[in-house]
Structure 1
């Protein structure tokens, strides 16, 4: 496959699933270190240090919600699917179809812009001060200790929280944003059990890239994984192709359980590891090749 075809594949994977990405994975982790510690039968501590990418504040989102794209004819060889020069007749036909769809594209761009603003808590991504507004929004919430915009929708954050095990917990939770894109979830069960899931800490699912994007995939890079798998570009277990402007997953997630607690289930490669201070820890190294989102079940009380 040529370089042009690869770029076209990545762009097509993103734009074809743009509305789905907005509703399901409008935030994505990049490089990070995160820990969830069950510190006692009734207490926990959580931290996230690293990058968060907001699709709605990126050039990629604005590209999907604009009508300014110039016309460009595209022709491919029917046997090899390689790009080729268009004939004058083909270019004229494509231009006519493109001009006929101007009104439809304008209406779609308007709806996409409204949807972006809705999921961004009312922040208008076309406003030059949108990123400043996002920084202020996060910094006024408890737990967001540092928020720095690195450019094109990418933020460097330091977040920490602690509390009692009297309620479920989810990160991130942002005022005005729909709670549809959790990085980490902690769900309390009867009988002193805690289920922990990290659905955003995975790029692709080797068995079904579409299912991964819909359910266990919070990373926008999964859009590229879906498109690449469909084209046969990526085999199971291989890294998904990089989307320009979207950070690839690179992080470590740790779950620790205090002494006396029992780790009932987990999907790490090495299982529980003893901690020097007592108790056990589960560690996941998250890479673009990760195909399973971290999950664990912990009993907070002795047998």
Structure 2
């Protein structure tokens, strides 16, 4: 396979993978510190300090949404199947076929833009003011104390919220934005037991190879192939997941199960579970804790 053909195949794979990620309104952590404190009085406090990356607002998404220009396909010798230069007549035929599909491509582009706007809570990602609009929306939500736009879909945030262990909790939740990849979930079971999962704090979500930050890493690798091995000139910088997630228990709460490497460590008032999160983290943090004992 020659280099131009390889580039076209890599580019096609890049756009296919990007469409898969965008279909989930892909939101991921960057560099962060997060903590969940469970208190003896059956209350909780959750904090998140650091970066959040919105793929739909990044230049990577713009690459996927860009209108492809006509590029002549390579011709080949029917006897040897070797690539050869196309004749002017063959190029003209390719151009005519491309032009004939213009209406269909425009309709597909419009549909994808509308779908993306729905996934972004009505925000048009192509609008130059899209990031500022999202920042204003986040700041009007309870708990979002700081939201700073760092550019290319990355926001630096400070989030803190407290409540009682009487209801489930999930972060992040954004008005009118369907969430498919929460960072942290807290699920209250009967008999005063809480299950805590952090699917967003792993490089790969379950059996989905395009899930988590692994999906972004895969796209970056494809981008390098599509640019002939010089992906740094073509692909935008993508945030790398790097942080710490801790669960702190106070009083007589009992940690029934967890998947940390070291298990719980004692504190003056209870115990603490800590996960160091990196691009190598494959298993999402999880714990089962009994409260009110």
Q: In 2, distance between residues paired with 1:40 and 1:97?
A: 70
Contact 1:10 1:224 in 2 (8 A): no
Stretches of structure 2 that go unaligned for 5 or more consecutive residues are 75-81, 223-234
How far off its partner does 1:20 sit? 3.1
Aligned residue for 2:86? Answer: 88
Question: Which protein shows a greater Rg?
Answer: 2
Q: Structure 1 residues 101 and 167 mapped into 2: Cα distance closer, same or farther (>3 Å)? A: same
Aligned residue for 1:70? Answer: 69
The secondary structure found in structure 2 opposite 1:40 is coil
The secondary structure found in structure 2 opposite 1:255 is strand
Q: Structure 1 residues 7 and 142 mapped into 2: Cα distance closer, same or farther (>3 Å)? A: farther
Contact 1:30 1:250 in 2 (8 A): yes
Q: In 2, distance between residues paired with 1:10 and 1:292?
A: 29
Aligned residue for 2:247? Answer: 255
How far off its partner does 1:253 sit? 0.9
Contact 1:182 1:218 in 2 (8 A): no
Q: Structure 1 residues 128 and 107 mapped into 2: Cα distance closer, same or farther (>3 Å)? A: same
1:46-57 to 2 correspondences below 5 Å:
46-57=46-57
Q: In 1, distance between residues paired with 2:84 and 2:134?
A: 45
1:81-230 to 2 correspondences below 5 Å:
87-88=85-86, 92=91, 98-204=98-204, 208=207, 211-213=208-210, 217-219=211-213, 221-225=214-218
Query: Between Structure 1 and Structure 2, how many residues are aligned?
Result: 275
Q: In 1, distance between residues paired with 2:240 and 2:103?
A: 35
Q: Structure 1 residues 266 and 49 mapped into 2: Cα distance closer, same or farther (>3 Å)? A: same
Q: In 1, distance between residues paired with 2:292 and 2:6?
A: 52
Q: In 2, distance between residues paired with 1:34 and 1:6?
A: 42
How far off its partner does 1:274 sit? 1.5
Contact 2:31 2:51 in 1 (8 A): yes
Contact 1:65 1:110 in 2 (8 A): no
Which whole-Å deviations, capped at 9, do the CAs of 1:210-268 have from their partners, x for residues lacking one? x254xxx444x425448979xxxxxxxxxxxxx63431211111111113111111111
The secondary structure found in structure 2 opposite 1:293 is coil
Aligned residue for 2:24? Answer: 24
Q: Structure 1 residues 244 and 126 mapped into 2: Cα distance closer, same or farther (>3 Å)? A: closer
Q: In 1, distance between residues paired with 2:141 and 2:218?
A: 34
How far off its partner does 1:6 sit? 10
Q: Structure 1 residues 13 and 34 mapped into 2: Cα distance closer, same or farther (>3 Å)? A: farther
Q: Structure 1 residues 5 and 191 mapped into 2: Cα distance closer, same or farther (>3 Å)? A: farther
How far off its partner does 1:28 sit? 1.2
Contact 1:144 1:159 in 2 (8 A): yes
Contact 2:19 2:64 in 1 (8 A): no
Q: In 2, distance between residues paired with 1:280 and 1:86?
A: 69
Q: In 2, distance between residues paired with 1:193 and 1:139?
A: 32
Corresponding residue to 1:274 among 258, 266, 269: 266
Stretches of structure 1 that go unaligned for 5 or more consecutive residues are 76-83, 230-242
Which whole-Å deviations, capped at 9, do the CAs of 1:14-45 have from their partners, x for residues lacking one? 52133432332521111111111112252101
How far off its partner does 1:120 sit? 1.0
